[in-house]
Structure 1
Amino acid sequence: MNIRQKIVMSIVVAFAGMGLLGSISYDHLLRIGEALRLAEVVDDLSNDILEVRRYEKNYLLYAMDEDYRESLRFVGKSLDIIRGIISPDATGQAPAKGEADFIGLRDQLIAYRDAAAQLAETAGSTPPTAVEKAQAALREQGRELVATSRHIKQVQRDGILHIVDNLKRQLLFSTLTLIFLGIGFSWVVGRRIIIALHLIEDTTRQVATGHFQAIDLPPGRDETRDVVKALNRMIKELDKRQNQLLQEKKLASLGVLTSGIAHQLNNPLNNISTSCQILLEEDIGKNDAFVAQMLDNIHHEVLRSRDIVKGLLEFSRENEFTMKPTRLGDLVERCVGLVSAQLPADVDIARRVPEEMCVPLDSQRMQEVFLNLFLNAAQAIGDHPGTITVTAERDEPAGQAVIRVEDTGPGIDPEHQGRIFDPFFTLKDVGKGTGLGLSVVFGIIKKHGGTIIAESEPGRGAAFVIRLPLGREACPQARTEPQQEAPA
């Protein structure tokens, strides 16, 4: 049984125990309420019997018929109260518990009424000894009535006290039981959790010092085992990411080397370009059309190579973050020229960026953003024909430039869209990506004061929407020198 099941079971047991406790307590309270109502009725009955005795004494002293009638009225009232207490089917059957005393009191009241009637009949015409005997019988019946009513009253009080004592004992026992069960459950479950937490604490301390060593799985099949498994996966992933970071450092060093090589390539490219110009101006270039065409091709390829080398130099150069008004269309064209050689032949880049759109940005950093997005889009399209579309427009009410980079790839699953900008998160095969590109893109856009979001429906491609603040400064005039547009 795992920890979750233990917790659920303990909660169920606790609720069942509280429900049972509440039911028993509620039953006791109902019984107390019924006993209190009966005690009120018994108290009224006792008072009526005392009134019977009072009018009896007045009648024996003053022999007034009014006292006799009042005494019989209270006898009748007491009998009515007893009839309301005793069950209708109690006659002729064994009395229910608690009703025997009331039945006895009822019989005594009937006997008292008969004795009072007999006394009234003998008064005035019977010898004094018979009257005295009737009076003595009436007094005796009255004393028995009072004694029985007091007994019933005391029994009702004792019953209420007994119910209250039972309720107190039940509450005390239930509370102690719940306390002991809670302590036992806390010790059993908490002990396993604390042991697992100590194990995880020791392991994370080792990971912090650079020791990526997996943990032995604990016995059992509860959540602590799952946590240790997850921790082992994290240790394995951290080890892999550390190796990837080392690879990134190597690539950074390679970028420095590339910058040096690009500088060295500029000289031979300049010499080749100059030689081609000289040959084109000589007679050999003027008289032979085929040679002239070849020399012209060489010249154009040298210009193209020079642009590539220039892009490499700009990309590898580390500058401070400097924002200045930049023509977005020129930046996109430059990025397309840099990335075109790495795209498959059947992947095109369509550009719909207004020429006059000017946005304050750091050209080098935004160049890195577009290169990452273009390469990711090309890798998402894969070996199939496809199109990467770059569009830009002004959102005047928001004061932003809205840039969209869309592809015709398979799209991004909904469960991955929330993590697409997380560092080291990648959907590419092992060895084909580090998961840092979009994280870098997110950081650069954020540094520009903008936002970037991913929009995608599975099977319908993906779109990255960038929003950058529009500036008030105008861009410098566009260069008039011709540029060779790289094929998309």
Structure 2
Amino acid sequence: MQRLTSSVQITLRLFVVARWVMLGLIALGWTLQAVRPTLFRQIVSWFPPPPEPIGTSIVVVLMAVANLWVSRRVLARGRATMSLAGTHLLLDTAALTALLALSGGVSNAFTSMYFVPMTLAIQLSPGWAWAIGGACLLGFASLFVLGPAPVGPPGHEEHFLGHIRGMWVAFGISAAFVIYFVHRIALSLARQRAELERLRMTAQQDRQLAALGTLAAGAAHELGSPLATIGVLVADLPLMEPREQSEAMQTIRHELARCKHILQQMSSPELRVGSLAASAEAWPLAELGEALRSLGSEVTIAMSAAGAAATTTQPQEVVLQIVRAVGTNAIDACRAKPGSTGVRVTIDVAADHALLRVRDDGVGMPPEAVAAAFDPFFSTKPEGKGMGLGLFLARAHLRKLGGTIELESEHGRGTTTTVRFPLREALREGATDGRGG
């Protein structure tokens, strides 16, 4: 209903503009007649005969009053209806017939102006289009009676009258073809618009479904670490001393709170959607170091002066999730290698971008594992110890942030992961691929 009202409003507005154009041309002719009568007579001689002044003036005034009424009382207040628009097109057809009858009748060269209301009526409905077309054809026919009889060259009066009658028949046939085919084109365009709208809605639903899939995968990945910790501690509780049991229970409570937080985000998609937008308030980049320190004692943080003073408006929850995923991978790699010295993290700022480098001297990865590191469900960890989603989700989120992630690793010697993202750039789709290089 809203789309129909908008179409009628546009049609009526175009009709008002067309009417003003015609009235302006008539006014220009009158002005030219007063200022340059010789030039006016030359122009009028191209389109004989000249209009009858009194009757033409009355029609012009009535059309101007109708136009002002439509502009101020209908269009300005958004009250356009299909019946009102169709009625004005019928009135305009009658006014055009009167003007033509007052200026030569059927022999007037501007009888083709009947196509204007016909074309506008196509935007309303098939019924109104055929009604206006019939009215125009009837108005054209009435010119044979209302206007002066067409006068042809001496001796060829009948031939000229036959030519004029043929023009009326040709007008009727052309009008029928125009209404039919233009209406078919309009219907085809309407179907295309409807199909595009359907495809847009489908694409939006697919994006939402993909976002929910990413949300679920991220939650599953984040739940893996705390649940694994809880499982180990629960298995060892019977073997612990009372003091160790108390510490273990405290750790279990902490990990359960973390699981609860992850599940709350999973069960409240609107919270995650909000977190994927740039923050209105800046938050300190130093919180990245705090998030990494909470992962384990193996992490050593080195923050430059620029990094310590920097703030970012990027979504905090997303950035912290990326950092935790990268840090967890580095810690697991170090724990898998006896004698490892731990994870060293540097946080810096370069060219309005945050720069995070996570280095470990863990087990490292062979070249083929590095090439597949960002693929979903690929993991170098023992079966059941990793889901292979951490780096995949990190890269997906960094693409939205306009950032990148690079991975350098040597089997047996460790891995360096470099995360880079703009400090104050809004989320966007289709950012540069985050794989190294």
Larger radius of gyration: 1
| TM-score when normalising by structure 1 | 0.32
| TM-score when normalising by structure 2 | 0.35
